Structure formats: C-alpha cells, structure tokens
C-alpha cells in the first residue's frame, strides 16, 4: 500500500505533467472572454480542434484519479479493519471511513480539480461550436 506522501507526490506529478495543457485551456478561455465577438471562424475551429485533443487526454486522467481515490480509500479502510481484527480492538466504521478519506484527500482533490477543468473544456467547446454554427448560418445569407 502506498503511503499518503506517495499519493501526494503522484498527484503533484500529474498536475505538473498536465500544466502545459491546462495553461493552453486557460489561454483559450481568456481569448474567448476578452475577444468573443471579434474572433474569426478559423480561430473558433482551431480552438475547438485543440480542445478536443486536450479533452481526450485530460478526461481519462480525471476518470483514472476518481477511480484511484475510491480504490485507495477501500484498500485503506479494509487495512484498518484487518488491523483491528488482528489487534483484537474494536472496529469503528465511521472513524475508519474518515481516516480512509483523509488518506486519499490529495487524490480526491486532484480528481476534483481535473473535473473542473473537464467541465471548463466542455463549456468552451460548446461555445466554440455555437459560434461556428452561427457564423456558418449567417454566411449562408450574406452571399
């Protein structure tokens, strides 16, 4: 079983690995926020293509960390239960559940942060697609 410090280090390393992608998403969001009405269709299409690629990389990492949090928590909980049985001490489920959640707090935090980024990417994709659609529709009538 990994130590809490190993889980923390694993989470930190993942976020360092994803940093360039997250910075790129942040840049797209700023671009859309500040210049939403002045961007040409080609920019929306470029952002959409990049975001789809980033999404397909980040979303599986998010799902992996969500599953890891649950798995590590269950392992820790069962280890506490087994230790209690071996030691002949009273097992208190509520206390063990709290300890198991504390053990996985860094993994859970990482999963929550990634979930936020995934939702941000999804909303940005929706925005790009809506603008692309609107611009295409408008161009049909301008000819």
> Residues of 106-124 as b/e, b for ≥16 C-beta within 10 angstroms?
bbbebbebbbebbebbeeb
User: Which of the pair, 9 or 31, is modelled with greater confidence?
Assistant: 9
Q: Please provide the average confidence, as pLDDT, over all residues in the chain.
A: 93
pLDDT at position 143 over 60: no
Q: Is residue 86 part of a domain?
A: yes
pLDDT digits (tens, 9 = 90+) for 63-115: 999 999 999 999 999 999 999 999 999 999 999 999 999 999 999 999 999 99
Which tokens in the block code for residue 116?
């936020």
Q: Is residue 143 part of a domain?
A: no
Alpha-helical regions (H) of the chain: 4-35, 41-87, 93-103, 105-142
Percent of the chain surpassing pLDDT 70: 97
- Residue range of the domain that includes 13: 4-30+39-133
pTM above threshold 0.85: yes
Q: Is residue 20 part of a domain?
A: yes
């Amino acid at each position: 079983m990994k130590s809490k410090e190993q889980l923390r280090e694993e989470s930190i390393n993942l976020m360092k690995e994803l940093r360039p992608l997250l910075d790129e998403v942040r840049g797209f969001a700023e671009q859309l926020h500040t210049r939403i009405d002045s961007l040409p269709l080609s920019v929306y299409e470029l952002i959409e293509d990049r975001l789809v690629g980033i999404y397909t990389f980040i979303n599986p990492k998010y799902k992996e960390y969500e599953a890891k949090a649950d798995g590590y928590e269950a392992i820790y909980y069962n280890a506490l239960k087994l230790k209690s049985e071996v030691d002949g001490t009273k097992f208190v489920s509520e206390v063990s559940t709290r300890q198991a959640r504390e053990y996985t707090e860094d993994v859970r935090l990482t999963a929550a942060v990634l979930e936020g980024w995934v939702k941000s990417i999804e909303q940005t994709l929706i925005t790009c697609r809506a603008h692309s659609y609107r611009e295409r529709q408008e161009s049909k009538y301008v000819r």
